Amino acid sequence: MKIDADASQGVGERDMEIVRTIGDEELSVFSFDGLRRISGSHPETLSRILGRLEEQGFVMKSPDGYMATGKVKSVSDRGRVYGSSNEVPLLHTFLPYGTAPEDVVVALAGKWFDSLRWVGMAEGEDEVVMKWVTDDGSVIIDLRMSGGQVDIDARMKDEGDFPKGVRGAHRLIGRIGRLHSMPRAARASTPVKIGYFRPYAM
């Protein structure tokens, strides 16, 4: 795994593992609890690591948790913690008529659903990916929106975790479906910038 020497200077290996996790998931905004479950870190350990990474300029605090800075782009490997070989496409559909990606972000960002715990968002030039992890850390669910389409994939540590991914996917898509019956003003009660997001904060 190639890490820029200047970016990693003065950062310990355990700290760099967390940086790689953030980079491999391409997270631009993430929660402490979600990162803890993905990385399997002890809360106190992760808190200390994030404190050091904040001092080093890899992350910064935000109202939504943490933001990854441009230094995380020094992580070049996109192998992901759970591995692409265990990635399973679960659902492909379109956003309900009259529902914008901003509506979905407002409705779902930061929310927990049954056993799903919010991780954060991965933002690209023409898409946004919202991420959850199961409370036991065994399944990561990616909800991707692009061009009015919605794709939900799951990445699992074990084949036996497949039912958890399916349940989670249907829980999320059900919530999106209910947006269609909500008044527009209720959906957009919180301002959200999307159009789309930059991959990382500068």
* Claim to verify: residue 65 and residue 90 sit in the same structural domain: no
100 falls within a domain: yes
Q: How many domains does the chain have?
A: 2
Query: For residue 72, is pLDDT > 50?
Result: yes
At 4-44, the pLDDT tens digits run 545 555 678 899 999 999 998 889 999 999 999 999 999 99
Distance between CA atoms of residues 129 and 151, nearest Å: 9
Domain containing 106 — which CATH number?
A: 3.30.310
Domain containing 10 — which CATH number?
A: 1.10.10.10
52 falls within a domain: yes
Give 38's contacts (C-beta < 8 A, 6+ positions apart): 21, 25, 81, 119, 133, 137, 140
* Claim to verify: residue 56 and residue 123 sit in the same structural domain: no
**Which of residues 16, 42, 74 is at a domain's end?**
74
**Which of residues 21, 53, 74 is at a domain's end?**
74
Structural domain range at position 124: 86-187
Distance between CA atoms of residues 184 and 124, nearest Å: 26
192 falls within a domain: no
* pLDDT score, position 131: 96
**Which of residues 74, 96, 130 is at a domain's end?**
74
120 falls within a domain: yes
154 falls within a domain: yes
CA of residue 112 relative to chain centroid, distance: 13
Is the CB of residue 1 less than 8 Å from the CB of residue 76?
yes
* Claim to verify: residue 121 and residue 63 sit in the same structural domain: no
195 falls within a domain: no
At 129-173, the pLDDT tens digits run 999 999 999 999 999 999 999 999 999 988 899 999 999 999 999
* Claim to verify: residue 90 and residue 112 sit in the same structural domain: yes
At 104-137, the pLDDT tens digits run 999 999 999 989 999 999 877 789 999 999 999 9
Q: Please report, as a single letter, which amino acid is at residue 94.
A: F
* Claim to verify: residue 93 and residue 61 sit in the same structural domain: no
Q: pLDDT-derived band of residue 184, with 50, 70 and 90 as boundaries?
A: low
Is the CB of residue 187 less than 8 Å from the CB of residue 103?
yes
* Claim to verify: residue 131 and residue 169 sit in the same structural domain: yes
